[in-house]
Amino acid sequence: MTLIKSISGIRGTIGGAVGENLTPIDAVKFAAAYGTWLKQQRSKTDYKVVVGRDARLSGDMIQNLVMNTLVGLGIHVVDLDLSTTPTVEIAVPMEHADGGIILTASHNPKQWNALKLLNAKGEFLDGAEGQKILEIAESDAMTFAEVDDLGEITKNDAYIDIHIDEVLDLEYVNQKAIEDANFKVVVDGVNSTGGIAIPLLLERLGVEAVKLYCDPTGHFPHNPEPLKEHLGDLSAEVKKHNADFGIVVDPDVDRLAFMDENGEMFGEEYTLVACADWVLSQNPGNTVSNMSSTRALRDVTEKHGGTYEASAVGEVNVVTLMKKNNAVIGGEGNGGIIYPESHYGRDALVGVALFLSLLAERKLSVSELRKTYTSYFMSKKKIQLTPTLDVDAILKAMEEKYSKENLTTIDGVKIDFAESWAHLRKSNTEPIIRIYTEAKSQTEADNLADKIIAEIKQIANI
């Protein structure tokens, strides 16, 4: 059982001891710290926070604890109830709110939940802001409102529809071409809020949606991380229904992966590559992804005359570099599309609409489209951390071992070889070291990852 306090929020497993897991006490404490931090940003009489959640089993309990803690601070709450992360992000500025909280542990299994914290722009907090909230939580420096000054909760269940309207209004979403293409798509909503939002979007785009696990019960039918080994049922349904392709999202709908008409993965890393290809073909410019993402985005960016740069892992880092470089599209290789014309947050709804626009324009099958991009193969492995492991010392030793290679150390250690790369870093969301590698074949990528893992284990004596 685990509680992870980081600058991006608080994430943990439900149940267990206070301070060691995400218990009701911990949820209240960190919601109070966030509300206190918001009130310190500027002095005013009315504060407002938008709150929404994915469908996981603990969501209703955690959301009620969080909302009523904010009420106790004198903050008004707009309750979106079942929603998506990008929907909450667009709702914050629309509501002229001071911030937002999303209750979701993203791709983590059902026993996890988290408080993801947003600023008044509907964007994730930066490191300094997150650190301040952690300090407030540790110091218990919170003052609650008098009885006449308590906040109020207002329910608003319209925002998924509003979000879809916003997506359809984007300049490079070609609704007519999509309707004319008569696509049939299978949607795996992992029994969370993607099962609400994605079929509604497809219906508005004139796409026939075959629903798979789209009942938002929170009983995830498989591991909710959208990886090939978890998606056998989607593959079978795509082939059974002769669908054009399959769509799978994670529980809070900020990660997006596609499956081709043969039931084979398009490649989660290539979600951003394809969406960027479409946007750059209409509006050439720069792109950004994190340094654990495929080189294929660099290739497609340069094909369209733009410049690609890599940031540290983490959505806030990608967004910061996108703003600095005036990137027209960016995101993360885990299927996260960030399209500034919509908002600065990963958004599977935007990704679906851009991908459909590309397919309708190119008149290619999904497998044919995949062949138009450089083929890179990635291995994503991890080492479970124990309290005795000194991760910083391990990474420093690996940095010294590969000091003659092209190294980047802004986020762990990334080693760039001529035809491959390896990225070693401590996860922000789980007690693990992630080892990502990429090469021109799966065997080469796997072998490189295994080599790195063996070297780490030798250094750490594990």
- CB-based contact 44:135 (threshold 8 Å): no
At residue 415's C-alpha, the angle toward residues 411 and 417, to 5°, is 150
106 is catalytic: yes
d(CA 420, CA 412): 17
- CB-based contact 445:379 (threshold 8 Å): yes
What's the one-letter identity of residue 351? G
d(CA 323, CA 199): 31
At residue 168's C-alpha, the angle toward residues 165 and 174, to 5°, is 170
* Residue in 8, 58, 83, 106 annotated catalytic: 106
Pinpoint the alpha helices (H) of 292-362: 296-303, 315-325, 348-362
What's the one-letter identity of residue 39? K
Q: How many CB atoms lie within 10 A of CB 304?
A: 18
d(CA 218, CA 413): 36
Q: Which two tokens stand for residue 77?
A: 């709450």
d(CA 77, CA 65): 12
CA dihedral sign, ordered 213, 218, 223, 227: positive
Which residue in this structure is represented by tokens 């492991």?
Answer: 389
d(CA 332, CA 78): 29
Distance set, CA 292 to CA 203, 296, 380 (Å) = 34, 12, 10
Distance set, CA 351 to CA 29, 102, 136, 247, 311 (Å) = 35, 20, 37, 11, 20
Residues facing residue 75 across a β-bridge: 47
Q: How many CB atoms lie within 10 A of CB 255?
A: 27
Active centre residues (catalytic): 106
